[in-house]
Amino acid sequence: MNDQPLILDEFLPYRLSVLSNRLSAAIAQAYSRRYGLSIPEWRVIAVLAVAPGASAAEVAERTAMDKVAVSRAVRRLAQTGRLSRRTAAGDRRRSILELTAEGRRIYQRVTPALRRYEAELLAALGARERRALDVLLGRLERRAGELAAPVID
């Protein structure tokens, strides 16, 4: 058994979480101030912009968000007229989600600012480093999907 202390600042899952939280918070300012969207609401909009007709479960799977958070975001987006929801003909338990014209307009207005932010962030890396980062993140994502949760005695 390894008796080494866990130094949180050196623990990869923690570092990735901190980076993700910082980036999400910075990006959220772009759409929160202007459109009053939460991070889960924006993520639902972003998924439906490229996958219209997805269900809430599919959105949750694509974003790795909790189903309750997705459900709340869907409900709020529907209430604010940014998303429409209808029941699937073949499966009454499944909702089909689509952006309204207002939801699509918000997506089209927010996306360029987010792309600029991403470009500015990635400017810290050279082209080879960006390609390597993409490959490495893909590997880590796949591996994380394969691993079971750690067993704690």
Query: Tens digit of pLDDT for each residue in 1-41?
Result: 578 899 999 999 999 999 999 999 999 988 999 999 999 99
**Would you say residue 146 has pLDDT above 60?**
yes
In the beta sheet, which residues pair with residue 84? 98
Q: What is the CA radius of gyration of the chain?
A: 18
> Is the pTM here over 0.85, yes or no?
yes
**Would you say residue 98 has pLDDT above 90?**
yes
117: enclosing H helix or E strand: helix 101-122
Question: Residue 94 carries which DSSP code?
Answer: P
* pLDDT greater at residue 153 or residue 130: 130
Residue 58's nearest CA partner among 23, 22, 98 is 98
Coil vs helix vs strand at 96: strand
Coil vs helix vs strand at 24: helix
CA distance linking residue 4 with residue 10, whole number of Å: 12
Amino acid occupying residue 26: A
Alpha-carbon distances of 84 from 68, 74, 76, 149, rounded to whole Å: 18, 9, 11, 36
Name which CATH class applies to 27-146: mainly alpha
Q: What are the residue ranges spanned by the domains of the chain? A: 27-146
CA distance linking residue 71 with residue 74, whole number of Å: 5
Per-residue pLDDT of 31-82, as tens digits, reads: 999 999 999 999 999 999 999 999 999 999 999 999 999 999 999 999 999 9
